[in-house]
Structure 1
Amino acid sequence: MQYAIGFMIALFIALTGVGAGTVTVPVLILFLGVPAPVAVAIGLTFSAAVKLVLVPAQIFRQQVAWRTLGYMLLGGVPGVLVGSFALKHLVTGGSQNLINALLGAILVGTASWQIYASLRPAGWKPDAADRSPILPWLMFPVGAEVGFSSAGAGALGSAALLALTPLLPAQVVGTDIVFGFLMSLIGSGAHWFSHATDPQLLIHLIVGGVFGAVSGTLVSGTIPRRPLRLALWIWLLVLGGQFLVHSYHVLAAAR
C-alpha cells in the first residue's frame, strides 16, 4: 500500500508538476492515518528526494537565475524554520485538531488559487517588470507555509516569479525547482531534528516514487497536462474541505 501511494504521488508529480509536499501530506493523513507532524516531515523529505533528481539538470541547462534565487532564499529560509518550529510548538501543546484545521485552510487556499490560475487564458501573463527585491518579503510567508504544511513552495514560488521578474518560462521553472528543493531540504532537516518522522514509511514512499517518476516521465508527452492539473487541484480542494469539516465536528463534539 505504501509503495503504491509513493508510486501514484510521483506519477502525478511527473504528469502535472504539482509539488510532492502538497499531495503527500493530505494523502498520508486521510488515507493512512499518519499524524500531521509526521506527515509534514515525510512530505518535505519526499519532496526533496524527488526534486534532487531534477536540480542537476536545471543547473546544467543554465536555467537557474541565481540572483533571483538569492532573494527568494533571503526570506524563504527564515520562514521555513519559523513554520517548522511553529508546528512543533503546536504539537507540544497537543493542538492536533487545530493543526488539521490549519492544514485544511492552507490546502483550500492553495488549491483555490491554482484552480483560478488554471482557468485563465493560456496566453495570459502578468506584468513582468523586475521587482526582485520584493521577493524576500513574499517568500517569508511562503517558507513558513512550507515548514508548517510542506505545501506551497512550487505553486506560490512560480506565481511570484511570473509576477515580479522578467525571467523566461524555463528560468522560472528551473529557479523554482531549486528553491523548492532547498526549502524542502531545510524544512525536513528541522522536522528530523525534532524526531517527528517515520523512516520506514518514508523509504517505502521513495522506492515507489522512483518507479512512479520514471513511468510519469515516459508517458508525460502523451497526456495533456492542463486538464489533469485542474482535476488534481479540484481533488485537493475537496481533501482540504474534508480537513476543515472534520476539525469542525471534533470541535463541536468537544463543547
Structure 2
Amino acid sequence: MPYILGLFIAFFISLTGVGAGTLTVPILILFLGVPAPVAVGIGLLFATVVKFILVPAQIVRGNVSWRTLALMLFGGVPGVLVGSLFLKHLVTAGANNVLNGILGAILVGMATYQILYSFRAPNPDKVRRDRASWLTWLMLPVGAEVGFSSAGAGALGSAAILSFTKLEPAQVVGTDIAFGFILSLIGSGAHWSSTQGNTTLLWQLVIGGIFGAGIGTLLSTHIPRRPLRVALWVCLLLLGGQFLVNSYHAHAFL
C-alpha cells in the first residue's frame, strides 16, 4: 500500500507541480493510521527528496531568482521553526483532537482558496509591480504552516511570487521549488530529531514515488494541468473536511 500511495502522490506532483507535503500527510493519517507528528515529518522528508531531484535542473536553467529566494527565506525559515515547535507543543500536551482540527482547517482553507483562484478570470491589462520585500513577512505564516502541517510551500509560495514580483513563469516555478526544498529540509530535520520517525514507511513512499514521477513525466505533455490541479484541491477539501468531522466527533464523545 505505501508503494502505491507514493506512486500516486509523485504522479500528481509531476503533473501539477504541487502535492508533496500537502497530499502526503492527510493520506498517511487517514488511510494508514500514521500519528500526525510522524506523518508531518515523513511528508516533509518526502517533499525534500522529491524537490532535491528538481532543484539542480532549475538552477542550471537559471530559473532561480536568488534575491527573491533570500527574501522568502528570511521569513520562511523562522516560520517553519515556529510551526514545528507549535506542533511539538500540541503533541506534548496530548491535544490530538485540536491537532486534527487545525490540520483540517488548514487543508480546507488552502483548498478553498486555490479552487477559487483557479476559476479567477485573468486580467491581461493588470500591471504587475515589484513588491518582493513584502515576501519576507508573507512567508512567515507560510513557513509556520509548512512546519506545522508540511503543506503550503508550493501552492502559497508560487501564488505570492506571482502577485508580488515581476518574475517570468519559469522563474516563479524554479524559485518556489528551491524555497520549498529548503523549508522542507529544515522542517524535516526538526521533526525527525524530535519524533520517532518511520524510516521503512518513508523509503516505501520514496520507491513508489520514483516510479510515479517517471510515469507522470512521460504523460505530462499529454495531460492538461489545470483540471488535475482543480481535482487535487477538491480531494484535499474533502480530506480536510474529514479531519474536521473526526475532530468534532472525538470532542463530542469526550
Give TM-score, length-normalised by structure 2. Answer: 0.97
Partners of 1:195 and 1:175 lie apart in 2 by 30
Deviation readout 1:163-220 (Å, 9 max, x if unpaired): 1111111110000000000010000000011034211100100010001001100011
- The 1-side partners of 2:125 and 2:2 are apart by 39
The answer to which of 11-20 and 172-181 deviates more is: 11-20
Question: How far apart are 1:85 and its partner, in Å?
Answer: 1.1
After TM superposition, give the deviation of residue 112 of structure 1 in Å. 0.6
| RMSD over aligned Cα atoms | 1.2
1:26 and 1:134 map into 2 onto residues whose CA distance is 31
Contact 1:21 1:150 in 2 (8 A): yes
Contact in 2 for aligned 1:127/1:163 (Cα 8 Å): no
Question: After alignment, is 118-127 or 193-202 more displaced?
Answer: 118-127
Aligned residues of 1:118 and 1:230 also touching (Cα < 8 A):
yes
Q: Number of matched residues?
A: 254
Q: Please state if 1:140 is matched with 2:137.
A: no
1:126 and 1:163 in contact (8 A); partners too: no
User: Which residue does the alignment assign to 1:98?
Assistant: 98
SS of residue paired to 2:151: coil
Q: Could you tell me how far apart the structure 2 residues matched to 1:128 and 1:112 are?
A: 24
Aligned-pair distance for 1:19? 2.7
The amino acid of 1:177's aligned partner reads I
Q: Kindly tell me: are residues 48 and 4 of structure 1, through their superposed partners in 2, closer, same or farther at Cα, counting changes over 3 Å?
A: same
Residue deviations 1:122-145, cap 9 Å, x none? 566865211111111110000000
Q: Which ranges of 4 or more aligned residues in structure 1 deviate by more than 3 Å?
A: 122-127
Give the corresponding residue for 2:87: 87
Alignment check: 8 A CA contact 1:126 1:162 kept? no
Residue 121 of structure 1 and its aligned partner are, at CA, apart by 2.7
- SS of the counterpart of 2:220? helix
Query: Which stretches in structure 1 are left out of the alignment for 5+ residues?
Result: none
| Structure-to-structure mapping, 1:59-78, within 5 angstroms | 59-78=59-78
Letter in 2 for 1:173: V
Matches within 5 A, 1:12-91: 12-91=12-91
Compute the TM-score of the two structures, normalised by the length of structure 1: 0.97
Contact 2:9 2:19 survives alignment (8 Å): no
Aligned residues of 1:125 and 1:162 also touching (Cα < 8 A): no
CA distance in 1, matches of 2:126, 2:84: 32
Say which SS state the counterpart of residue 253 (structure 2) adopts: helix
Aligned to 1:211: 211
- C-alpha distance in 2 between matches for 1:36 and 1:166: 38
Q: Residue 155 in 1 paired to residue 187 in 2?
A: no
Query: Please, which runs of 5 or more residues in structure 2 have no aligned partner?
Result: none
